[in-house]
């Protein structure tokens, strides 16, 4: 029964580890970097990093520097990669704690170099080329000058160009092939100025599974490790993945409305459940599914007609199906969304419980 919060997120450590091992096997010999942004997709970064590092995974993609520091605390020997930081971020601490920094612009490169000089520590940087997605990165026309400046700073002993990287759109096979060709050209140009990055990385979850030519030395995988599929009707079971998080709540009231039995649950719009759930997704109670009929600001109403459910019964929103509930992917497809967005919204403020 839910007591401390409006909902409970039960996270399986074994599912996380099994999924990570499956992904690692799939992308080998490339290394797996587990992305833990957004509090490890609302699964809880402390427990996720502890579980995965304890199971032998030692590369993490953190997005921002705050998350990177949390990873470093739990995984002192891990490679931690962060690529979003602004004027107010503590780059000095990131450099001194050996956090790899994704550098997307010349001004960012100079700023990292200035801090590295000031603290007399060499910064580990990954240079980003824009291969067509236009999600940050140096455009092709400015890439040669960017590389030349990076080579000068490396020769000065201020930075170590550890990696070259990019994002691809994963929109179509042909578009991704073009991005891969641009990335290969960017790497060749880096070699021409004497840079020999040890880590070349381009692929995220979907591309890492589907295309061997997109894997290079490392892949950055988030959703798949948590058992979250990419969408378009593909469920985790088709990928051999197990949803690691099951979200549940309890029936708070039962009443008769217009000859229907309606249950109320304490999950509403303020908790990330929006009206687009009405009539399209369901929940499981006593291993049977019942549809949402209304979502208000603070609660949701479920049509329980024909059931014997009562106040206090457990209500399973999504998970691995153990209690009859739908998967997160079913919810995402029905609501025209993606699984990671829904789980971050709904599970972020839930009480978290970790099981083996």
pLDDT, mean of residues 174-190: 95
109-146 pLDDT per residue, tens: 999 999 999 999 999 999 999 998 888 899 999 999 99
Q: Residue 112 to residues 83, 92, 95, 106: CA-CA distances in angstroms?
A: 12, 8, 9, 10
Tell me what pLDDT residue 2 has.
40
Burial class (CB in 10 A: 0-12, 13-18, 19+), 113: buried
* Span 13-226 CATH architecture: Alpha-Beta Barrel (3.20)
Q: How many CB atoms lie within 10 A of CB 117?
A: 16
234 pLDDT above the threshold of 80 = no
CATH level 3 topology of 245-355? Lyase, Ornithine Decarboxylase; Chain A, domain 1 (2.40.37)
| Domain chopping of the chain, boundaries | 13-226, 245-355
Residue 116 preceded by cis peptide, ω within 30: no
Whether residue 231 is predicted with pLDDT greater than 70 in this model: the reply is: no
User: What's the confidence (pLDDT) of residue 170?
Assistant: 78
The whole-number average pLDDT for the span 89-108 is 96
Average pLDDT over residues 186-208: 94
């Amino acid at each position: 029964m839910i007591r401390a919060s409006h909902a409970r997120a039960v996270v399986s450590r074994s599912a996380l580890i099994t999924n990570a091992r499956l992904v690692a096997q799939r992308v080998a010999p490339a290394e797996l970097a587990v992305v833990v942004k957004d509090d490890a997709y609302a699964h809880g970064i402390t427990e996720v990093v502890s579980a995965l590092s304890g199971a032998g995974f030692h590369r993490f993609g953190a997005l921002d520097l705050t998350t990177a520091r949390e990873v470093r605390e739990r995984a002192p020997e891990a490679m931690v990669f962060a690529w979003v930081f602004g004027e107010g971020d503590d780059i000095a601490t990131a450099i001194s704690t050996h956090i790899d920094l994704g550098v997307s612009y010349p001004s960012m490169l100079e700023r990292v170099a200035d801090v590295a000089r000031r603290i007399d520590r060499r910064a580990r940087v990954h240079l980003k080329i824009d291969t067509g997605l236009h999600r940050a990165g140096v455009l092709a026309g400015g890439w040669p000058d960017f590389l030349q400046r990076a080579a000068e700073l490396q020769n000065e002993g201020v930075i170590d160009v550890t990696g070259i990287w990019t994002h691809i759109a994963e929109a179509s096979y042909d578009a991704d092939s073009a991005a891969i060709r641009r990335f290969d050209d960017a790497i060749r140009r880096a070699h021409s100025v004497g840079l020999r990055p040890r880590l070349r990385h381009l692929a995220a979850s979907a591309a890492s599974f589907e295309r061997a030519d997109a894997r290079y030395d490392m892949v950055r995988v988030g959703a798949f490790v948590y058992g979250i599929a990419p969408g378009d009707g593909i469920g985790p079971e088709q990928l051999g993945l197990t949803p690691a998080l099951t979200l549940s709540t309890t029936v708070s009231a039962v009443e008769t409305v217009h000859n229907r039995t309606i249950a109320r649950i304490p999950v509403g719009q303020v908790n990330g459940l929006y009206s687009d759930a009405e009539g399209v997704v369901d929940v499981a109670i006593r291993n049977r599914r019942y549809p949402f009929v209304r979502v208000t600001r603070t609660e949701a109403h479920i049509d329980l007609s024909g059931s014997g459910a009562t106040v206090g019964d457990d209500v399973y929103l999504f998970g691995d199906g153990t209690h009859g509930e739908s998967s997160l992917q079913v919810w995402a497809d029905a609501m025209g969304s993606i699984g990671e967005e829904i789980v971050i919204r709904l599970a972020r403020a839930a009480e978290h419980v970790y099981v083996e």
